[in-house]
Amino acid sequence: MAGQPDYNSNDGSNSSDGELTTEDLRRARRAIEHCFESGWTDGLPVVPPIEEFVNEFLSHTRRDPSQVLCTAPHLQRDCTVRDAAACAVMAGCKPEYFPTFIAAVEAFASIGPVMSQSTTGRAFPILINGPVRTRLGINCTHNIFGPGDRANATIGRALRLMLLNIFNVRPHDLDQSTHGTPAKIYLCFGENEEESPWQPMHVDHGFARDASTVMIQQARSTLHIDHRTSQVPEELLYTMARSMSYAGHLTASASAGGRILQTDGGFHKNLACIVVLGPEHAGHIARGGWSKQDIVGFLYKHWGSTAGELRRCGGSLEEISSLPEDAFIPAAAMPESIKVVVAGANNAGESTLLLGYGPCAGPIAIEEA
């Protein structure tokens, strides 16, 4: 590898110039293996959360280390500020990321750890807005849902390590996911505010533009939208609405088993979607004169399915059985179930859907020490 340090040239004796010795690395590896053997990891190596490291993170917040940030009464577990710091250390966060992670945990608390036990195997996408994105180096452009950016990866990963280690929600045990999703490892991104034609998410929610915030939702996975051959807002958005309406997401919600048919609209009270518009799509739509509210209204109107299609897929709610073949049933209970953000690179006609369940948690303000 280019630039790889040559540790092999060091014989393991104590180094006087601060260089790592081979013996240092052997010890580090033993510490990493100890974490694996102790069952503290998500399957990847973690940084051992020794007290010195945890205290370094705690110095980046004014919060009392014993303050409870998130509680799970049914599991009889709480996550304190100190617990959160340990998880952030383990995930590989830098200490200065810690206030952002605290906000993420507080946002997550309102969703509740119970939702992390579902057979659906939900991920918890973390959306970050405001100046903290540039200060911490949170990726908002290329490859936002892929690997390579420390802040995105480790802040997102710390949340999963909290579920694993503090709430003990582990696979084969309290985590009942049938399949899960790679997005459960981490899913954290920043809004590309600089290339968005609209005001950012946190400003939509009443925050000042120079505030930094965190928002969280539950999502099953990321769903890729590729449409490079149109600049017509209606065509782009109709493509997204039909993608939001895929049978595997809607049929279960239209079936017996406790789901609620909304008399005033959609057939599931909690279906929700974050529509992550790539800047190119966002630009086409904005140039057509559309606001974010217009987008939400259009998507809400076309997100759903006909009674006939649902019946063919086995949707068994009694209310559907009596409807005409072409009766369209909106999926969501209300337009507010749809959130629109702009993120990703401005290099292709691509967007991503984060389909799952609402309501969104946050935005929560990030408190700097």
Partner 1 sequence: MADGTIFEERGLQAVALVTDSFHNTARSMARVRGFPDYRYAAVSNPIGSLDAQGIKQRARQALPQVLEILGITDIRGLEER
CA 360/CA 366 separation, integer angstroms: 17
Nearer CB in complex with partner 1: 63/249: 249
Site for partner 1 (CB under 8 A): which residue of 10, 176, 291, 346? 176
Q: Does 257 bind partner 1 (CB under 8 A)?
A: yes
Strands 271-277 and 304-306: unpaired
Q: Does 115 bind partner 1 (CB under 8 A)?
A: no
* Angle, in degrees to the nearest 10, between helices 279-287 and 233-244: 130
Residues 151-170, interacting with partner 1 (CB under 8 A): 168
Q: Cβ of residue 256: shortest distance to partner 1, in angstroms?
A: 8
Q: Does 71 bind partner 1 (CB under 8 A)?
A: no
CA 164/CA 83 separation, integer angstroms: 12
**279: its two tokens:** 């800047």
Other CB atoms within 10 Å distance of the CB of residue 260: 13
Looking up tokens 């100890």 gives 34
Q: Does 255 bind partner 1 (CB under 8 A)?
A: yes
Nearer CB in complex with partner 1: 176/230: 176
- Read off φ and ψ for residue 273, nearest 5 degrees: -150, 130
Q: Does 263 bind partner 1 (CB under 8 A)?
A: no
Q: Does 262 bind partner 1 (CB under 8 A)?
A: no
Q: Does 120 bind partner 1 (CB under 8 A)?
A: no
Nearer CB in complex with partner 1: 255/262: 255
* Angle, in degrees to the nearest 10, between helices 81-91 and 51-58: 110
CA 338/CA 332 separation, integer angstroms: 8
Q: Does 172 bind partner 1 (CB under 8 A)?
A: yes
Nearer CB in complex with partner 1: 173/264: 173
Q: Does 174 bind partner 1 (CB under 8 A)?
A: yes
CA 30/CA 27 separation, integer angstroms: 5
CA 175/CA 118 separation, integer angstroms: 7
Nearer CB in complex with partner 1: 11/173: 173
Q: Does 76 bind partner 1 (CB under 8 A)?
A: yes
Q: Does 74 bind partner 1 (CB under 8 A)?
A: yes
Q: Cβ of residue 254: shortest distance to partner 1, in angstroms?
A: 13
Q: Does 313 bind partner 1 (CB under 8 A)?
A: no
Tell me the CA end-to-end span of the chain in Å, nearest whole number. 38
Q: Does 118 bind partner 1 (CB under 8 A)?
A: no
Coil, helix or strand at residue 204: helix
CA 250/CA 252 separation, integer angstroms: 6
Nearer CB in complex with partner 1: 74/224: 74
Nearer CB in complex with partner 1: 75/365: 75
For partner 1, the binding residues (CB under 8 A) are 74-77, 117, 168, 172-174, 176, 255-257
